[in-house]
């Protein structure tokens, strides 16, 4: 007896074909298998769509605790405060997200890139970096960078900030309800980071890091009219989701 005959039988009297009990069992097994594959595919493509959903403990500082309306202007404490508006939108997964005008996001990325590129271009000039640090950093991160610069001066070492390559995933900018703080999400490829001797400019130490997701908080400084790095909020292994660094 062929395999087909075990699944579909032919009635010689009526001429009709019908599925056997074994055939129905086989159909159910195939349906469950296809369903499991489809669910696994869906989970894989959505697991990293919104990093903030899986990391509720990483939050931006809030200026006020009032309820968030659908659209509202950014609070203004000074005449030179930002004048753009933000609004709440729904992501494809149905999650609320704060959206700012495209030109604001462009400025966030531009100011962030300028900070890291200028640091790396002058990483052997500590006096220059000390002078420029307040232009690129603010709050907690400014204090940390000033402390790191003092350590580098004492140890005669230096480190770049952008000694890495990005994975082929688009950077994402998520805004706080006040519109003047953001989390920049970067997907960074595995690789080595180095420390350099300040005098010889040779590599003297290295660290191997995995593919990772890094969340950097930037805050808008209205007096300088630019976005500044206010803290490194989180670094997480892209594949295992292990926390490598989390700001407290």
Determine the Cα–Cα distance for residues 115 and 133; give it in Å rounded to an integer.
9
224-242 as b/e: b if 16+ CB within 10 A: eebbbbbbbbbbbebeeee
Please give the pLDDT value at position 32: 59
| pTM of this structure | 0.69
Mean per-residue pLDDT, 115-126 = 97
The residue ranking higher by pLDDT, 170 or 12, is: 170
105-118 pLDDT tens trace: 999 999 999 999 99
Mean per-residue pLDDT, 133-148 = 97
Cα separation values, 105 from 7, 81, 113, 173, 211, Å = 60, 16, 12, 7, 25
Place of tokens 């950097």: 216
42-64 as b/e: b if 16+ CB within 10 A: eeeeeeeebbbeebeebebeeee
pLDDT tops 70 at residue 34: no
Determine the Cα–Cα distance for residues 229 and 126; give it in Å rounded to an integer.
19
Please give the pLDDT value at position 93: 83
Mean per-residue pLDDT, 39-51 = 42
pLDDT tops 50 at residue 181: yes
Domain ranges of the chain: 3-43, 51-246
**What class is the 51-246 domain?**
alpha beta
pLDDT tops 50 at residue 205: yes
Please give the pLDDT value at position 73: 37
pLDDT range class, residue 14, cuts 50, 70, 90 = low
């Amino acid at each position: 007896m062929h395999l087909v005959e075990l699944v579909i039988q032919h009635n010689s009297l009526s001429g009709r074909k019908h599925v056997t009990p074994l055939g129905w069992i086989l159909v159910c097994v195939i349906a469950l298998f296809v369903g499991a594959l489809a669910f696994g595919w869906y989970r894989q493509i959505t697991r990293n769509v919104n990093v903030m959903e899986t990391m509720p403990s990483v939050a931006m500082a809030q200026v006020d605790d009032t309820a968030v309306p659908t659209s509202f202007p950014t609070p203004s404490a000074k005449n030179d405060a930002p004048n753009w508006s933000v609004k709440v939108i729904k992501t494809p997964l149905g999650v609320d997200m704060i959206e700012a005008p495209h030109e604001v996001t462009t400025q966030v990325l531009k100011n962030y890139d300028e900070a890291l590129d200028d640091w790396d271009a002058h990483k052997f000039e500590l006096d220059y970096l000390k002078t420029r640090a307040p232009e690129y950093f603010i709050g907690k991160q400014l204090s940390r960078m000033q402390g790191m610069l003092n350590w580098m001066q004492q140890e005669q070492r230096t480190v770049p900030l952008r000694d890495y390559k990005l994975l082929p995933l688009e950077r994402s900018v998520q805004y706080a309800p006040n519109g003047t703080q953001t989390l920049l999400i970067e997907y960074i490829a595995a690789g080595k980071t180095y420390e350099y001797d300040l005098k010889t400019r040779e590599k003297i130490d290295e660290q191997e890091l995995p593919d990772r997701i890094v969340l950097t908080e930037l805050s808008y400084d209205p007096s300088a009219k630019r976005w500044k790095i206010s803290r490194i909020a989180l670094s997480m292994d892209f594949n295992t989701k292990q926390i490598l660094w989390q700001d407290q």
